[in-house]
Amino acid sequence: MFRSQRERLAHPAILGIYVAVPLIFAHAKDPKVFLLVPPIIAVVAFIAWMLSLRRLLVIVGTPTSKIASAAQGYVELIGRAVAHPGGALRSRYSLLPCVWYQYTIEQRERDGKWHQIESGRSDDSFLLDDGSGTCLIDPENAEILPRDTETLTKGSDWRCRESLILPHDQVYAIGEFSTIGGELAHLDLERDVGELLATWKRDKPALLARFDLDRNGQIGEKEWMLARAQARRDVRKTHDEIRAQPGTHMLHQPRDGRLFLISNINAARLEWRYKFWAWMHLAVLIGSVMGTAYLTVKP
């Protein structure tokens, strides 16, 4: 249920736990062991409820920003997926042009059960265009909820489940927004002046030719002050040119561990989905707590 520093919900797996726990304990020789079932389910349901509620509150509580005017920090964006200028991806097995893919390959063994033999997903960046501007989406470590999953088969003993985000799909994304370059570029004047002077020092003949005004083969104090002033002017000019260029907007994993979610499911449906799961897990939690109380006081 956990990956990296952020939680990841897998509702089918949680439903499987709700079903599997009673079945496992039903085979116990001591009937009293079955008393552990409601508390275990209650703990799982509580964690699942909290995670669903957390996602719901983040999605509902974060207003949608426009890329052109988005503040630096945690934002929600909605726009159309655009393939990276370097070219669209091809999905692993269907070979369809896409901006993101995930696949799981399974094979049926002699026991008749399906066993996973390979899985993976792409982490290539792609663009999001909301009409006001474009933002580079870096999906590495994101929780990604695809709208559809297709199953490809070869015979009766091999199958590949593949999920895609396609170019032009509407994409919902929430994460850390930052702009590289442009007028918001973070530039260190003193550091860059020092680096430029260090570069000049490595080419002493050129340094002397430029700043050794009395031609004595040395750079005196006043000549060094002149060189420093020139380096400051050069660096300021370079900084002005950098800030005059349009910045590159990026959405990536938040440094503080907050939800980083990308989906081609629309925002309203995502909100409905998390409301449904939050209520369902809460109902299981309440039922489990009541079951625990009943079995505890039952004579």
pLDDT digits (tens, 9 = 90+) for 162-184: 999 999 999 999 999 998 876 66
The pLDDT of residue 246? 67
**Stretch 112-137: mean pLDDT, rounded?**
92
- Estimate to the nearest angstrom the gap between the alpha carbon of 236 and the chain centroid: 35
Q: Express each pLDDT in 13-64 by its tens digit.
A: 777 777 777 777 666 666 666 677 888 888 988 998 998 999 999 999 999 9
Average pLDDT, the chain: 85
Distance CA 244, CA 275 (A): 45
pTM for the model stands at 0.72
Please state the rounded mean pLDDT for residues 233-239: 87
- Is the per-residue pLDDT at 2 higher than 70? no
The pLDDT value given to residue 219: 85
Give the residue with greater pLDDT, 10 vs 238: 238
Specify the higher pLDDT residue, 220 or 20: 220
Q: What is the pLDDT of residue 6?
A: 41
User: What is the model's pLDDT at position 4?
Assistant: 35
Q: What is the pLDDT of residues 70-104, one digit of tens each?
A: 988 999 999 999 987 777 789 888 889 999 999 99
> Which pLDDT score is estimated for 247?
73
Looking at residue 33, its pLDDT comes to: 67
Query: What pLDDT does 35 receive?
Result: 75
Task: Specify the long-range contacts of residues 215-220, CB closer than 8 Å, at least 24 apart.
Answer: none
Name the amino acid, one letter, at 236: R
CB 173 within 8 A of CB 117: no
* DSSP string computed for the chain: -EETTEE---HHHHHHHHHHHHHHHHT-SSGGGGGGHHHHHHHHHHHHHHHHHHHHHHHHHS-B--GGGPPSEEEEEEEEEE--TT--EE-TTT--EESEEEEEEEEE-TTS-EEEEEEEE----EEEE-SS-EEEE--TT-EEE-S-EEEEESTTSEEEEEEEE-TT-EEEEEEEEEEESGGG----HHHHHHHHHHHHHHSHHHHHHHH-TT-SSS--HHHHHHHHHHHHHHHHHHHHHHHHSPPEEEEE--TT----EEESS-HHHHHHHHHHHHHHHHHHHHHHHHHHHHHHH--
Confidence band (pLDDT; 50, 70, 90) for 189?
Answer: confident
Q: Are 171 and 81 in contact (CB under 8 A)?
A: yes
Least confident of 25-29, 64-68, 245-249: 25-29
At residue 7 the predicted structure's pLDDT band, cuts being 50, 70 and 90, is: very low
| Per-residue pLDDT, 30 | 64
**pLDDT higher than 70, residue 208:** yes
Task: Provide the token pair at 97.
Answer: 């042009």
